């Protein structure tokens, strides 16, 4: 193939990347959760993680943290089959998730964490299945702590709550055409996935170092299950006023600045809980 033709084909393929809402903390949020957890693995769990991730391009929890989202482009069939594992929605309007109603056939983030943890901890499973299970768990524990991944409204976790954000932050590649004259056409879900943490203006390792200075909270970490964590996320949506007052759809950095401490606290707690799950599952 000539070089020009090859370049043309690559450019065409890039144009075909889906222009859809993000599904989770953006790559930075997920990597932060992974990096924080990595720093708190016990020696046995650390060794197990290294064994499972051997051969990965970046064989760390941070390095594989967005794999489950990357399937969207890398393995669309598998992404489709696992898309509902990234969130849970309480259909009763409150925050009491009922798995029979809200998690049909085990297709929600709560069940996915439990199922993948069981695979991860089962020595009779193949190395490949356990490696993928680890990558899923790292991702989904992060997702579950993004409040809009465990809500009770009918707007797809804020994906259908449109926001125009005045910001100097360049959007992720897939969304660049929605960024005009310093105003980004986006939605509340993406504000939480990406813009709040991006407005911290820190690179991964600097951000992880800073968050890691905050004290770990064994009491909060030790309690609860993935189901309780979903309820905790859900309750934050109303108690913290995550939806803009009066259904205001215009936003500037005041919102990002106001909620950055909460987003960082959620990432921090997700990192703690992930480390604890992995120490329990791989570190004994
Ligand atoms: Zn996700």
Ligand 1 mean position, distance from CA 168 (Å)? 25
Ligand 1 mean position, distance from CA 70 (Å)? 9
DSSP 101: H
Secondary structure of residue 186 in the 3-state scheme: strand
Ligand 1 mean position, distance from CA 107 (Å)? 13
What pLDDT was estimated at residue 16?
34
What pLDDT was estimated at residue 24?
52
**pLDDT confidence tier of residue 34, bands split at 50, 70 and 90:** very high
Ligand 1 mean position, distance from CA 116 (Å)? 14
Burial (Cβ within 10 Å: 0-12, 13-18, ≥19) of residue 123:
exposed
| DSSP per residue, 150-164 | S--SSSTTTTTSEEE
Ligand 1 mean position, distance from CA 10 (Å)? 26
Ligand 1 mean position, distance from CA 8 (Å)? 31
Q: Is the pTM of this model over 0.75?
A: yes
Ligand 1 mean position, distance from CA 182 (Å)? 27
What pLDDT was estimated at residue 31?
97
Ligand 1 mean position, distance from CA 22 (Å)? 8
**How is the chain split into domains, by residue range?**
19-282
Ligand 1 mean position, distance from CA 2 (Å)? 38
Is residue 201 predicted with pLDDT exceeding 80? Answer: yes
Instruction: Name 157's bridge partners.
Output: none
**Residues 278 and 41: beta-carbon distance below 8 Å:** yes
Ligand 1 mean position, distance from CA 279 (Å)? 22
> CA separation (Å) from 208 to 190, 195, 213?
21, 17, 9
CA distance linking residue 123 with residue 251, whole number of Å: 49
> CA separation (Å) from 22 to 76, 134, 171, 187, 194?
15, 21, 11, 10, 9
The pairing of beta strand 179-180 with beta strand 162-166: unpaired
Give the distance, in angstroms, between the CA of residue 29 and the centroid of all CA atoms in the same chain: 6
Length of the chain as a residue count: 284
C-alpha torsion angle, residues 195, 109, 217, 203 (rounded to 10): -30
What pLDDT was estimated at residue 88?
97
Ligand 1 mean position, distance from CA 225 (Å)? 19
Q: What is the mean pLDDT of residues 38-44?
A: 97
pLDDT digits (tens, 9 = 90+) for 243-260: 998 889 999 999 999 999
What pLDDT was estimated at residue 84?
97
**pLDDT confidence tier of residue 22, bands split at 50, 70 and 90:** very low
Is residue 2 predicted with pLDDT exceeding 80? Answer: no
pLDDT digits (tens, 9 = 90+) for 48-62: 999 999 999 999 999
Ligand 1 mean position, distance from CA 5 (Å)? 35
| DSSP per residue, 192-211 | IIIIHHHTT---HHHHHHHH
What pLDDT was estimated at residue 58?
96
pLDDT over 90, % of the chain: 82
Ligand 1 mean position, distance from CA 149 (Å)? 9
Ligand 1 mean position, distance from CA 79 (Å)? 10
pLDDT digits (tens, 9 = 90+) for 205-248: 999 999 999 988 777 776 689 999 999 999 999 999 999 988 89
Ligand 1 mean position, distance from CA 256 (Å)? 21
What pLDDT was estimated at residue 247?
86
> CA separation (Å) from 215 to 146, 158, 220, 268?
20, 31, 12, 10
CATH superfamily of 19-282: P1 Nuclease (1.10.575.10)
Residue of 24 and 271 predicted with greater confidence: 271
What pLDDT was estimated at residue 171?
84
What pLDDT was estimated at residue 170?
82
Sign of the alpha-carbon torsion through 227, 116, 196, 191: negative
Ligand 1 mean position, distance from CA 257 (Å)? 23
> Mean pLDDT score of the chain, rounded to an integer?
90
Ligand 1 mean position, distance from CA 68 (Å)? 6
Place of tokens 């109603």: 101
């Amino acid at each position: 193939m000539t070089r020009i033709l090859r370049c043309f084909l690559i450019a065409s393929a890039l144009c075909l990347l889906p222009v859809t809402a993000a599904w989770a903390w953006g790559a930075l949020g997920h990597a932060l959760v992974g990096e924080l957890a990595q720093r708190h693995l016990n020696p046995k769990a650390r060794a197990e993680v290294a064994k499972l991730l051997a051969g990965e391009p970046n064989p760390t929890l941070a390095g594989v943290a967005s794999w489950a989202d990357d399937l969207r482009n890398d393995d669309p069939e598998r992404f489709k089959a696992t898309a509902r594992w990234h969130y849970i929605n309480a259909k009763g309007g409150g925050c009491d998730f009922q798995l029979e109603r809200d998690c049909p056939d085990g297709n929600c983030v709560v069940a996915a964490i439990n199922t993948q943890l069981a695979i991860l901890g089962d020595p009779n499973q193949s190395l490949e299945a356990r490696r993928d299970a680890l990558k899923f768990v790292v991702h989904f524990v992060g997702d579950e702590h993004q409040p809009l991944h465990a809500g009770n409204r009918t707007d797809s976790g804020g994906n259908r709550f449109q926001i125009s954000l005045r910001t100097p932050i360049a959007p992720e590649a897939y969304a660049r055409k929605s960024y005009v004259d310093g105003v980004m056409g986006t939605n509340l879900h993406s504000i939480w996935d990406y813009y709040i943490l991006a407005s911290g203006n820190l690179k991964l390792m600097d951000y992880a170092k800073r968050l890691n200075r905050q004290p770990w909270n064994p009491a909060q970490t030790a309690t609860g299950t993935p189901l309780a964590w979903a309820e905790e996320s859900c309750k934050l949506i109303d108690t913290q006023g995550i939806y803009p007052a009066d259904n205001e759809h215009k936003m500037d950095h005041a919102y990002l600045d106001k909620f950055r401490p909460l987003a960082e606290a959620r990432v921090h707690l997700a990192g703690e809980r992930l480390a604890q799950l992995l120490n329990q599952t791989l570190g004994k």
